[in-house]
Structure 1
Amino acid sequence: MESNDEAGHAALPLAGCRVLEHSRTVAAAWAGRLLAAMGARVVMMEPPQGHRLRGAAPLIDGSGESALFAYLAAGKHSLLCDLATSEGKARFEHELERADILIDDTPLAERESQGLDAKRLGARFAQLVHVSVLPFGAHGPKAAWDGEEVNLLHAGGEGYLLPNGLSGELFPQRAPLKIYGHFAGYQGGCTAALAALTAWWAVPSAGGQYVDVSVQDAALAVGAFALQRLGDGSLEHRSTRSFRYGGVFEAKDGFVEVLTLEDRQWSALVQLLGSPAWAQEEALRDPLERSRRGGEINRHIRAWMAQERVEDIVRRAQALGVPAAKYRTPEEVLAGAHESARGLFAQATLPDGRAVDVLVAPFQFRCTTLEAHAHVPAPGELEKEDC
């Protein structure tokens, strides 16, 4: 008999897909979250003490619940499973018999003892898509290395390029930075989810597959443009990496980002600035000359921006066709008219019954509305159900 959960997901793209998630990292948990948002039934196989990220900062005020875990676990289910015991291994294999996809980030050194080595699972479950998500992948000289977010961000090259632009100008002596949060982990999770779907769709013709995802490689792909420029002998660095003109500017009451890549956008920017005499110079009609004189142009823009209010700048810029946007606080994002109109945020219910706002998904489908409400499972919640 179809459960209420499965009935509610019937119209979603991954309806009927069953995913088993054995995770401890953001990357693997995010891969499961993306599949759950598309309608897959995702079951987290948690250790007896609960998922490692249940206690991860930041905590939701007054609840003791991890905000990070709540976001990553919304829409999933939970079973407790101790893979150090024969009973736990038997339970895991029972779940694998019904699973289409396994997402696993267990370190290589622990997989055999826990019954999770790829060869064994491939022989036992011929139709299973087994997605391995490790900091540096499951093959190669760094396969056994551990890596936290700060390591992966810098190993992926992004840290080498930060801070840049306005941040680099304001704080030229600042050491390389880590982007706030879990940038590399989310990139690895996106890669793992896409790889899982690619392999799953090929199951009818190719059978199950083992998919090896490296979070470092996923993070490295984000900086592909910087790597591409190595081919023409250009090495980007945080002190030189910036838009030739444009970027982030400080206004009277906040910050605005402006990006003009096309001639028509440059012309509109000149209008926004009040068509000053310096911008009428014939040489500045040439985009290459504008690039060469980017620092000079930005000094003019910065002086103008400092006298204006953010909302006025953005309103006038968008009316003229200048790509410009305000840097908003989290509260402003949650209450934003655009976000509300698109239904980007919805409430998720915590195990204690409280409701919090979370992003439904980082994507939408044209013909299918994603489920707005989700719950964050308590440890082992499926123990109470006949699953």
Structure 2
Amino acid sequence: MQQDKPLAGLRVVEHASGVAAAWAGRLFAAMGAEVIMAEPPALCPLRGEAPLFDDGGSALFAYVAADKRSVICDTGTPEGRGALSALLDTADIFIDDTPLAARAARGLDETAIAARHPGLVHLSVLPFGATGPKAGWTGQEINLIHSGGEGYLLPNGLSADMFPDRPPLRIAGHFAEMQGGATAALAALAALWSGEGQYVDASVQDANVAVGCFALQRYGDGSVEHRLTRSFRYGGVIECRDGHVELLMLEERQWQALVRLMDHPRWAMDEALDDPATRSARGDEINRNIRAWARHHAVDDLVSRAQELGVPMARYNTPEQILSGAHEMARGLFGAVTVPGTGEVLIQTAPFRFGDAPLDLCRAAPGPGADQALLPQIPAARRVTA
């Protein structure tokens, strides 16, 4: 059974060169909107972005452009600007990440779009937003993960214990940009819900500052978190005999369940540890004992027993384990698409669902200009006025 998609019938035009804006478009497509990429003649830069398949095609592009359509539109020419404007006449949302300084010359600035398309939700997605002193700045993933604060806090936990002298890291992939894209998509949906045309200014940096809300919250008591001090007092990533698990301890009942899981070891029977504040103060000692115990157990056996007892523990998966995991398979998290030159690949259909049935994946990423017929052909008389 296929699940109904809430944005079916809506049209989104995506004019994107970066991951954040493209990911916003991908989320709209997953929710059922028709998403049309308006690519320049040189094509979307993400088509050449690593990681690459053996034939040189971009795996990243295959992911963020799945279920979309493609037209070629040169906004550097009057004809191209006119064609894009005619396409926007049919759209509900316009996503654009053109650098601020280049927008006016291409007819993509806020004022021009609002004048021509007053009912359109115009979603601007920029590294540091379209207003303020950093509006003209560019930024890549590594800049954004650190300017948002999260990079300063990585690695932490077991990784920081094992490698305390290593420098800060960024999260693998495009965490910061995808966080920005998700936030931008939600902001555009809020504007769409209002029923009025609006300009939505999304900052990828701002979206990532929100990820570190707990660190910001602790500024109030004078605490400044660092990757060597940022961790739960005990738990985190734990090494087992054949892999790793993640253990998250927040509640008293979870501590009591962990003690049962460990078969009531003598060190855990210390009456002083009945006090949560004492456990926090002795977190390093507790973790040393947990880690020594876990090294003698297999991951799958430990996770199975933990879940039966109510201990919040899960396997730290490899990519292969995610693709074949029982939970992921049961939820229908991945769909197969055929990528030209590569063959069938599995792609996450969506990071959400709206009912019992998983969302389906309808098509692979489009070839350049595969849907050119969707682009209105502008008569010569209109080109002059455009």
In the alignment, does 2:176 pair up with 1:184?
yes
Aligned partner of 1:36 in structure 2 is 29
1:19 and 1:10, CA in 2 relative to 1: closer, same or farther beyond 3 A?
A: farther
Aligned partner of 1:131 in structure 2 is 123
Q: In structure 1, which of residues 250, 265, 271 is the aligned counterpart of residue 254 of structure 2? A: 265
Instruction: For residue 371 of structure 2, give the secondary structure of its aligned residue in structure 1.
Output: helix
Cα RMSD, aligned residues only: 1.5
Unpaired stretches in structure 1, ≥5 consecutive residues: 1-8
Q: 1:239-269: CA deviations, max 9, x gaps?
A: 1101101111111111111112111111111
Aligned partner of 1:166 in structure 2 is 158
In the alignment, does 2:13 pair up with 1:14?
no
Contact 1:156 1:220 in 2 (8 A): yes
Contact 2:235 2:287 in 1 (8 A): yes
Unpaired stretches in structure 2, ≥5 consecutive residues: 377-386
Contact 2:119 2:197 in 1 (8 A): yes
Aligned partner of 2:73 in structure 1 is 81
Name the structure, 1 or 2, with higher relative contact order (CA <8 Å, separation 6+).
2
Whole-Å Cα distance in 2 between the matches of residues 322 and 31 of structure 1? 35
1:231 and 1:300, CA in 2 relative to 1: closer, same or farther beyond 3 A?
A: same
Whole-Å Cα distance in 1 between the matches of residues 87 and 361 of structure 2? 27
- How many residues are aligned here? 375
Report how far residue 353 of structure 1 moved: 7.7
Q: In structure 2, which of residues 332, 345, 363 is the aligned counterpart of residue 356 of structure 1? A: 345
Report how far residue 367 of structure 1 moved: 5.9
Aligned partner of 1:6 in structure 2 is none
Q: In structure 2, which of residues 103, 113, 116 is the aligned counterpart of residue 111 of structure 1? A: 103
Q: How does 1:53-68 map onto structure 2 within 5 Å?
A: 53-60=46-53, 62-68=54-60
Report how far residue 384 of structure 1 moved: 5.1
Aligned partner of 2:360 in structure 1 is 371
Aligned partner of 2:211 in structure 1 is 222
Contact 1:350 1:375 in 2 (8 A): yes
Whole-Å Cα distance in 1 between the matches of residues 206 and 45 of structure 2? 24
Contact 2:71 2:375 in 1 (8 A): no
Whole-Å Cα distance in 2 between the matches of residues 336 and 97 of structure 1? 44
Instruction: For residue 202 of structure 2, give the secondary structure of its aligned residue in structure 1.
Output: strand
Aligned partner of 1:142 in structure 2 is 134
1:10 and 1:100, CA in 2 relative to 1: closer, same or farther beyond 3 A?
A: farther
Report how far residue 138 of structure 1 moved: 0.4
Whole-Å Cα distance in 2 between the matches of residues 248 and 72 of structure 1? 30
TM-score normalized with structure 2 length:
0.94
Whole-Å Cα distance in 2 between the matches of residues 386 and 355 of structure 1? 29
Q: In structure 1, which of residues 38, 48, 52 is the aligned counterpart of residue 45 of structure 2? A: 52
- What is the identity percentage for the equivalent residue pairs of Structure 1 and Structure 2? 60
Contact 1:347 1:373 in 2 (8 A): no
Q: In structure 1, which of residues 6, 21, 27 is the aligned counterpart of residue 20 of structure 2? A: 27
Contact 1:351 1:376 in 2 (8 A): no
Whole-Å Cα distance in 2 between the matches of residues 259 and 274 of structure 1? 19
Report how far residue 235 of structure 1 moved: 1.0
Instruction: For residue 135 of structure 2, give the secondary structure of its aligned residue in structure 1.
Output: coil
Aligned partner of 2:83 in structure 1 is 91
